[in-house]
Structure 1
Amino acid sequence: MPSTNSSAKLHKSTIDKTKNSAVLFAFIAATFYALSTPFSKLLLTNLDGTILAGLLYLGAGIGMLAILLVYKVFNLDSSEISLGKSELKYIIAMVLLDIAAPIFLMAGLATTSAANVSLLNNFEIVTTTMIASLVFHEKISKSLGIGIALVTLSTMILSFQREGSLSFSIGSAFVLLACLSWGLENNCTRMLSSKDPKQIVVIKGFGSGLGALGIGLFIGKSLPEPKLLIAALVLGFIAYGFSVYLYVLAQRSLGASKTSAFYAVAPFIGAAASIVVFRELPGLNFWVALAVLALGTYYTNKG
């Protein structure tokens, strides 16, 4: 019969492996999401922002539905718990916030640089963590608190149009509204994280995608040509679908605030990709904000 000490070590080892997997899932999710900023900016040259927002989420829903059907047909992953009526209020809030957030983000992308948007996206960590703490009583460590303060400072530096100017960028305001919407949405998703993540992505994708598309068509916008439509759907599946799937898996072990903290790597990836794709050299405020954000990222992940 195994000793109590051996059982405790085995239990701790299992917990450590689960946490390490969750951290890996969070980093991969952040990387996939980071790619959405520069490539969405490219698509916006030929696509309306509201239509693009809808297609991105619809691509996530279609791709994950195909994966869900494969799981069903081959009877895989039967241990996952399906969503029920008790989660309905969180599902509705999640869908509505996911309609608003990408529309705000596309409006911001249309009027400010992709590199700036990549860094500003980190404000989502602040909103997610503050809501998780105030509403769901998740503990914020001292290091995480310092990290959040530094991330907030970096977004303030980026949000002003140029050095020596007190003129707040409208594009930055839209991005920060997107971050607030996603911060609220992340905490709704947190309440669903014990359920089947594939179902969550399918509902998010079709609900938010069709909602945003409906708004776009209602205000007189039209669908793009097939090659652009397919490109938007594929980007949506990678950056919004598979990314969210991994994000939900990570939340199970890490919680909403800690999972969002690992998303701090996304702006660096997104900013680097944006500089390469658009060959645009950012101004001084970008580099100052980047340095502050790097320090904030260190403290955030330390906490």
Structure 2
Amino acid sequence: MNVSVLYALAAAALFGASTPLAKLLGVDTPPILLAGLLYLGSGLGLAIVRFARDQRWQRPGIPAGEWPWLIGAIVFGGVLAPVALMYGLTRTAGATASLMLNLESVLTAVLAWVVFKENADRRIVIGMIAIVLGGIVLSWPQGRVTTHDWTGPLAVAFACLCWAIDNNLTRKVSASDALFIAGSKGLVAGVANCCLAFAIGSQLPALATLGPIMMLGFLGYGVSLVLFVLALRGLGSARTGAYFSTAPFLGAVISILILGESVSLMFLLAAALMAIGVWIHLMENHAHEHQHDPLKHGHRHTHDEHHQHEHSFEWDGTEPHSHPHEHAPIQHSHAHFPDIHHRHKH
């Protein structure tokens, strides 16, 4: 199994676990403030990890041409999407909102395929449909659902669109420092949501509650987002989004195992659909002759067939290692994903 698939599924598991773990911890905080504190915990936690890793403040090394992609991702995913979702939740039934959140993976894939020209064959589309259907079954309302008006569902749909744009823009910078990318998004989203919560009168919870919330945010949002960025680096937007959309199912599994919740027929049906979708994706074998254009970037790598370069510094032979490097043009054929080295036309 490709390690990037494991990154995507691990990201989904951590994110999916955040809801049942918050319930287990007995966290009782207004939703907008809770979202802000979770994001803030992720941003601050990743900043600490990054500082500990580098032993000092280290420039992220993002090429000048990629900063607009990162800023756009932060604005759409860290500011607009959380605010739109929180507004939508105040005017939408919870079951309806849960159902609509499945739009994110669909919109991510559509944008990846149509706008950013990411490759998708019939197998990937069928697998995506199966996974999304599983998410719909899992969140399908069990009773009559009503909404106040259309502004709520539209706001939730807009939030999904913003996150879909965020996912595709983040793919553009996924070769850069994943800790910096995820930490920046967490800090901005945390500040935006907390400011909104304080503006409508929310108060900070007690320290005994604040600590667990921040730690949960670090793991369920921060570490999860780092893994998501690493998955984007190796799989592209559509495939990563598909694997990540298993998060509600994985969260439900954790609820069953830890909280002792019952297993329903709908849960088993959702599990079957998602398992089929993931299996279809895992069986993908996309191979053809393709041309690599010259490319200069920096990321952790080993000296494989795509990384045959000299070093401008004294290298001790340690692999994998990270430094800016340049790819010479090459034409060859092998199985591959639309990763950071395979963003070619078909």
TM-score bracket, normalised by the shorter chain, equals 0.7 to 0.9
Contact 1:144-1:299 within 8 A present in 2 as well: yes
Q: CA deviation at 1:91?
A: 1.7
The answer as to 2:24 corresponding to 1:24 is no
Q: Give the counterpart of 2:53 among 59, 63, 71.
A: 71
The answer as to 2:178 corresponding to 1:219 is no
Aligned to 1:290: 271
**Distance between the aligned counterparts of 2:203 and 2:57, measured in 1?**
40
Cα pair distance change 1:286/1:29, threshold 3 Å: closer
Q: Which structure's residues are more often helix, by fraction? A: 1
> For 1:86-105, what per-residue CA distance to the aligned partner results, in whole angstroms no more than 9, with x for missing partners?
52354244344234545637
Higher Rg of the two aligned structures: 2
Aligned to 1:210: 191
Contact 1:33-1:240 within 8 A present in 2 as well: yes
Amino acid in the other structure paired with 2:2: N
**Distance between the aligned counterparts of 2:21 and 2:233, measured in 1?**
30
**How many residues of Structure 1 are paired with residues of Structure 2 in the alignment?**
276
**Distance between the aligned counterparts of 1:23 and 1:45, measured in 2?**
31
State the identity %: 33
Q: Give the counterpart of 1:237 among 209, 218, 223.
A: 218
**Distance between the aligned counterparts of 2:2 and 2:81, measured in 1?**
30
Aligned to 1:148: 128
Aligned to 1:10: none
> For 1:218-257, what per-residue CA distance to the aligned partner results, in whole angstroms no more than 9, with x for missing partners?
0111111112111111011111111111221222221111
**Unpaired stretches in structure 1, ≥5 consecutive residues:** 1-18
Q: Which structure's residues are more often strand, by fraction? A: 2
Contact 1:161-1:169 within 8 A present in 2 as well: no
Cα pair distance change 1:152/1:230, threshold 3 Å: same
Q: CA RMSD in A?
A: 3.5
Aligned to 2:182: 201
Q: CA deviation at 1:286?
A: 4.0
Cα pair distance change 1:101/1:231, threshold 3 Å: farther
Contact 2:42-2:219 within 8 A present in 1 as well: yes
The answer as to 2:19 corresponding to 1:33 is no
**Distance between the aligned counterparts of 1:44 and 1:181, measured in 2?**
30
Amino acid in the other structure paired with 1:87: W
> For 1:40-60, what per-residue CA distance to the aligned partner results, in whole angstroms no more than 9, with x for missing partners?
345685101111111111111
The answer as to 2:118 corresponding to 1:138 is yes
The answer as to 2:170 corresponding to 1:185 is no
Q: CA deviation at 1:143?
A: 1.3
Q: CA deviation at 1:267?
A: 3.2
Q: Which has the higher contact order (CA 8 A, sep 6+)?
A: 1
Amino acid in the other structure paired with 2:119: K
Cα pair distance change 1:92/1:229, threshold 3 Å: farther
Contact 2:178-2:230 within 8 A present in 1 as well: yes
**Distance between the aligned counterparts of 1:136 and 1:208, measured in 2?**
25
**Distance between the aligned counterparts of 1:180 and 1:286, measured in 2?**
26
**Distance between the aligned counterparts of 1:176 and 1:41, measured in 2?**
26
Cα pair distance change 1:111/1:223, threshold 3 Å: farther
Q: What is the SS of the residue equivalent to 2:236?
A: helix
Cα pair distance change 1:51/1:175, threshold 3 Å: same
Cα pair distance change 1:40/1:101, threshold 3 Å: farther
Q: CA deviation at 1:27?
A: 2.8
**Distance between the aligned counterparts of 1:36 and 1:102, measured in 2?**
16
**Distance between the aligned counterparts of 1:64 and 1:73, measured in 2?**
14
Cα pair distance change 1:157/1:70, threshold 3 Å: closer
Cα pair distance change 1:183/1:96, threshold 3 Å: closer
Amino acid in the other structure paired with 2:213: A
The answer as to 2:57 corresponding to 1:61 is no
